[in-house]
Amino acid sequence: MNNIIDYYNTYDEDGRLFRNYSHQIEWLTTMYYFDNLIPARSKIFDGCAGTGNYAFKLAEQDHSVVASDIVPRNVDIMLEKQKKNPILKDIFVGDICECNHYDNYYFDVVLCMGAFYHLNENMRCKAIEQCLRLLKVNGILVITYINLITALHLNIEPKLGNISEILECYNTKSFGDSFIYMMPEEIEKMAEKYNIKILHHITSDGNPLLRCENFCEARKEDFEKYMELHLSICENKNFLGCGLHNLVFLQRF
């Protein structure tokens, strides 16, 4: 856990989704699906809230939102935002694998958007069991993960200088740092194991290898057209398989 906290202590998590057009794809896609799937005035638990970008936006839309993160620095940033805009119902430091702050079946929606970037298979099971404990029947669970195949290609060095490390990562699903990658079929098997229905399985940002620096210098109207294309194909299995950040919306019975 310490290596995860150390990583986010030096990373600009608050600005990540808004850095440029390339990064905004993930934010805009996620909010598009939130707006279309989350019922009005829902009770939402954002269990990996980071610095609260989604939590505060959802609260502004009149949802009742509780936000938690495992990184104290991120929680401090949320608390500062809360002083200026006190709309979250609760904010605390917490581990989504051991979240005991609320009773069973308390929330309409549970967001687990980030934990699976860092958890092995056993810990992912603990996280999903806690999420389902908190989630009402017919409630919506949202999980994000980083796609292994795209991560491998994204990290290949010129002249294949690190191909041994790439092969090792393919076998271990990690480059030996705090990140752990998944395949789309793994999350689908997990849904089947826990008897939860997949509503949508998408890539929230698509394949970064298809986007060059010129993409971020596009005209606003052209980027908006690209977003139309992205939202039209982000659930396509072929596109999902090459996306970097993937997102699955699930419903418990």
Q: What is the pLDDT of residues 200-252, one digit of tens each?
A: 999 999 999 988 888 888 999 999 999 999 999 999 999 999 999 999 999 99
Q: How far is residue 110's CA from residue 45's CA, in Å, rounded to a whole number?
A: 5
**What pLDDT does residue 59 have?**
98
Full-model pTM: 0.96
d(CA 30, CA 17): 11
How many separate domains does the chain show? Answer: 1
**CA proximity to 67, closest of 50, 85, 83:** 50
pLDDT of residue 222: 96
CA distance 41 to 38: 9
Question: Please, what's the largest Cα pairwise distance for the chain?
Answer: 54
Q: Which residues of 107-141 are buried (b: 16+ CB within 10 A; e: fewer)?
A: bbbbbbbbbbbbbeeebbeebbebbbebbbeebbb
The CATH number for 244's domain is 3.40.50.150
pLDDT digits (tens, 9 = 90+) for 18-76: 999 999 999 999 999 999 999 999 999 999 999 999 999 999 999 999 999 999 999 99
Q: 103: part of which helix (H) or strand (E)?
A: none
Q: In this structure, are residues 197 and 250 in contact, taking their beta carbons and an 8 Å threshold?
A: yes
> Over the stretch 102-133, which tens digit does the pLDDT of each residue have?
999 999 999 999 999 999 999 999 999 999 99
Q: What is the pLDDT of residue 215?
A: 86
For residue 55, give the 3-state DSSP assignment. helix
Model confidence over 175-203: pLDDT tens digits?
A: 999 999 999 999 999 999 999 999 999 99
Q: What is the pLDDT of residue 47?
A: 97
| C-beta separation of 84 from 113 below 8 A | no
- CB-based burial of residue 60 (10 Å sphere; 0-12 exposed, 13-18 middle, 19+ buried)? exposed
Q: Which domain holds residue 205?
A: 2-252
CA-CA distance, 253 to 236, in Å (whole number)? Answer: 25
Identity of residue 250: L
207 by Cβ neighbours in 10 Å (0-12 / 13-18 / 19+) ranks as middle
Q: Which two tokens stand for residue 148?
A: 């292994």
Instruction: Calculate mean pLDDT across residues 132-142.
Output: 98
Task: Report how far residue 4's alpha carbon sits from residue 1's, in angstroms, rounded to the nearest whole number.
Answer: 5
In this prediction, residue 136 carries a pLDDT of 98
Can you give the pLDDT at residue 214?
81
Among 126, 125, 121, 122, CA closest to 148: 121
Inform me whether the pLDDT recorded for 2 exceeds 80: no
